[in-house]
Amino acid sequence: MNKKTKLIHGGIVGDPFTGAVSTPIYQVSTYKQDGVGNFSYEYSRTGNPTREALEKLIADLEDGHRGFAFASGMAAIAAVMQLYKSGDHVVFTDDVYGGTYRLMSKVLNRFNLDVTFVDTSNPQKVREAVQDNTVAIYVETPTNPLLKVTDVREMRTIADEHDLHLIVDNTFSTPYYQNPITLGADIVLHSATKYIGGHSDVVAGLAVVATEKLGEELHFVQNSVGGVLGPQDSWLLIRGIKTLGLRMEQTEKNTAEIVSFLQSRDDIVTIYYPGLKDHPGHDTHKAQATGFGGMVSFDVGSKERAERVLASTKYFTLAESLGAVESLISVPAQMTHASIPAERRAELGITDGLVRISVGIEDAEDLIADLKQALEQE
Ligand SMILES: *Cc1c(COP(=O)(O)O)cnc(C)c1O
């Protein structure tokens, strides 16, 4: 199956019980048993038909063995981290999503899950960070907000050398453009709040594992800890996924036009976009993904100018989050990455003048006109 067909025909299509073409919302907590222990569904924390349709679909889209849906991206990430135990060590991408950094450095550290944050775009740094107690490498590619690219196949090689799990947060590229399991990952994560949902109307997380063993282990955690996604939100994601391909293509087309507009100006300090040939991760990204996506960051020079731009856009909504049909704009230093200490932000290059846009599916010429007038505000 090709990708756009898979978005419609992957997983469980419609409803096996009634023939309904769209998977119904099974708004139910418990199920009648035909005899003690004789049932296909038992209790909706353990399994629910609507959530299961979504879980099978994401497993198909990521070419994995089994999928899991959680109440948020963070709940999915936390569940995956609960596969490990006190005293274990995980190597992380350094400019990982702010919430992931916070989870590891302020919550799971209390349980002695040890972490090292390194620039995973440099495999040598990852090799140096591996310790005797390392159990996994966790990467985001491209990253947020600097769009740094990590070579997933190279990470697999390192993981094999030390018998580690390889975990990839694939939120930015989506399964439409990048499939980390086919590149060697053991576990793929998504904040489905972003492109997968795509309409700024649901908070959700997804995980896909490559093997039956990991599937059993993660289901045990999902059912024991309980951060599952409800049926209504599961349905919204199934609906969102049907147009993922169309949305990604329009987003990427718009993004290419916006990037060339930004390049044509001499008042932008730096543009971060993996689609640019001079982006350090361009070739690696091209070798592992089929599209560059719709996230772009650019430095307008100062905090004051960034604030002026953010105060003046009309179609780019000032908001956290990304990956929706509507274009969004933010300043990472004060918003998504505010939970990262200022000195660490400086080390990473997340300057006060850095503006991040998530390009939506509006008409590119309107988006460009909007950015132009915002950049020209005195
Ligand atoms: C938003 C985001 C998360 C967290 O997901 P939530 O759905 O907000 O809990 C994790 N990783 C990345 C890359 C994200 O953008």
3-242 and 245-375 have identical folds = no
Q: What is the pLDDT of residue 336?
A: 81
Give residue 80 CA to ligand 1 midpoint distance, Å. Answer: 14
Claim: this prediction has a pTM higher than 0.85:
yes
For ligand 1, pick from 193, 233, 340, 358 the residue to mutate: most ligand atoms within 8 Å of CB.
193
Q: What is the pLDDT of residue 248?
A: 98
Q: What's the pLDDT tens digit per position in 161-195?
A: 999 999 999 999 999 999 999 999 999 999 999 99
3-class secondary structure per residue, 102-164: HHHHHHHHHHCCEEEEECCCCHHHHHHHCCCCEEEEEEECCCCCCCCCCCHHHHHHHHHHHCC
CA of 274 from ligand 1 middle (Å) equals: 20
- Written out in words, the top-level CATH class of the domain with range 245-375 is alpha beta
Active site residues: 45, 97, 169, 194
How many angstroms separate the CA atoms of 208 and 189, rounded? 7
* Predicted local confidence at residue 16, as pLDDT: 86
Report residue 95's pLDDT band, with 50, 70 and 90 as the boundaries. Answer: confident
Band (346; pLDDT cuts 50, 70, 90): confident
Beta strands 114-118 and 89-93, pairing class = parallel
Residues in CB range of 162: below 8 A, 6 or more apart: 130, 134
Q: What is the mean pLDDT of residues 146-170?
A: 98
Query: Is the bond preceding residue 16 a cis peptide, omega within 30 degrees?
Result: no
Q: Report DSSP state, residue 40.
A: S
Q: Is the CB of 368 under 6 A from ligand 1?
A: no
What does the pLDDT look like over 45-73, one tens digit per residue?
A: 999 999 999 999 999 999 999 999 999 99
Q: For residue 83, how far is its CA from the centre of ligand 1 (angstroms)?
A: 19
Instruction: Quick: pLDDT tens for 200-225.
Output: 999 999 999 999 999 999 999 999 99
| Ligand 1 atom nearest to 192, measured from its CA | 7
Find, among 299, 300, 326, the residue nearest to 314 by Cα. 326
What does the domain layout of the chain look like in residue ranges? 3-242, 245-375
Residue 94 in contact with ligand 1 by CB distance below 6 A = no
Under CATH, to which class is 3-242 assigned? alpha beta
pLDDT given at position 342: 83
What percent of the chain is predicted at pLDDT more than 70? Answer: 100
User: What mean pLDDT is reported for the chain?
Assistant: 96
Does the C-beta of 193 come closer than 6 Å to ligand 1? yes
